[in-house]
Amino acid sequence: MANKELNDLLQAHARQRSRPDASLYQAIYLDDAWAVAEKTGLSLLKVECGALESGIIPERYSRNQKSLDNADQLRLLHSHVAVIGLGGLGGTVTEILARIGIGRLTLIDGDCFEESNLNRQLLSSTAAIGQSKAEAAQRRVQQINPAVEVRMVPEFFRADNAQALLDDAQLAIDCLDNIPDRFVLEQACRNASIPLISAAIGGSSGRATVIFPGDPGLKALYGPPEKAPKKGIEATAGTLPFAAVYMAAVECAEATTILLGKPSELKNKLFLAEIADHVTELFNAPGPAEESVD
């Protein structure tokens, strides 16, 4: 369908709305966007992108404004992020990315839910015990934001599938639960020339960093891969749910910053948070240290 025809349909369905500050905007509601998608044969994602190009904001994103303008929202809808690990960190990261409007998500985890996950993993429920985390993540995204296109991968991230799983992603978010796999992911991101956002949690604390190709990266945190511990302090400290949500939010904030073409605040830095005490610190050039994991 020609752009003019799509624009005419979108304009016909657009409604004037007002924000809490009484400023006006043109909006399209989900049911109307679906109607346009069915009439044109376009995906809901393409319809929402077309709406933004015409100055019409999908109503679901209206409260993203005025922090994000239409051009920002369109850029996010054109973005592709890979989330590796769908547990405490990854489940919340998936939720936030779907709600803010990342247009394409690759969701990777070969694990299934256990009862011990219920304290912190947003995608888990008593009904989901034994079910695939990747499948649960895909269902959740479809429930939240059906315009988001999901590549669901019910596999563990490994050196032999790493490059295929990161294909076409603009950045990767590390939500893994062991340190050796983090190094595998870091190398895969270097090979793909994409940034890596990495976070880890243990007890009520967390840490995060952003690694671009060419940066020192994880060896500055853990030392050489062959000498790095397999697990961090989660093995002894456990993980509290507010730590998982807090650090997932940090990862998503950095992802949004990078996708919008702004400088990363955590590149070559280490962000440390003791969440229960409301204490945070930001360090340059971190030295080797054992860190927690999700």
* pLDDT tens per residue across span 246-280: 999 999 999 999 999 999 999 999 999 999 999 99
Amino acid 3: pLDDT? 85
69 in a domain, yes or no?
yes
**Alpha carbons 172 and 152: distance in angstroms, whole number:** 15
- pLDDT category at 2 given cuts 50, 70, 90 is low
Exposure string (b/e) for 203-227, b if CB count within 10 Å is 16 or more?
Answer: bbbbbbbbbbeebebbebbbeeeee
| pLDDT tens sequence across 65-121 | 999 999 999 999 999 999 999 999 999 999 999 999 999 999 999 999 999 999 999
291 in a domain, yes or no?
no
**Alpha carbons 201 and 41: distance in angstroms, whole number:** 44
Domain with 180, as residue range(s), is 79-284
Q: Are residues 188 and 280 in the same domain?
A: yes
10 in a domain, yes or no?
yes
Phi and psi at residue 213, to the nearest 5°? -55, 130
CA separation, residue 51 to residues 26, 48, 104, 105, 229 (Å):
10, 5, 18, 21, 49
Q: Residue 168 maps to which CATH number?
A: 3.40.50.720
238 in a domain, yes or no?
yes
- pLDDT category at 285 given cuts 50, 70, 90 is low
Q: What is the mean pLDDT of residues 32-61?
A: 97
For residue 185, give the nearest of 83, 37, 39, 35 by alpha carbon: 83
Q: Are residues 175 and 42 in the same domain?
A: no
Helix or strand (DSSP H, E) at 207: strand 205-211
Q: Are residues 45 and 113 in the same domain?
A: no
pLDDT(15) > 50 = yes
pLDDT(233) > 80 = no
Q: Are residues 63 and 185 in the same domain?
A: no
Amino acid 4: pLDDT? 87
- pLDDT category at 25 given cuts 50, 70, 90 is very high
Q: Are residues 20 and 38 in the same domain?
A: yes
Q: Are residues 44 and 98 in the same domain?
A: no
293 in a domain, yes or no?
no
The number of folded domains in the chain is 2
Single out the residue in 49, 73, 97 at which a domain terminates.
73
160 in a domain, yes or no?
yes
159 in a domain, yes or no?
yes
CA separation, residue 229 to residues 44, 59, 219 (Å):
45, 47, 12
> Tokens at residue 26, please?
């043109």
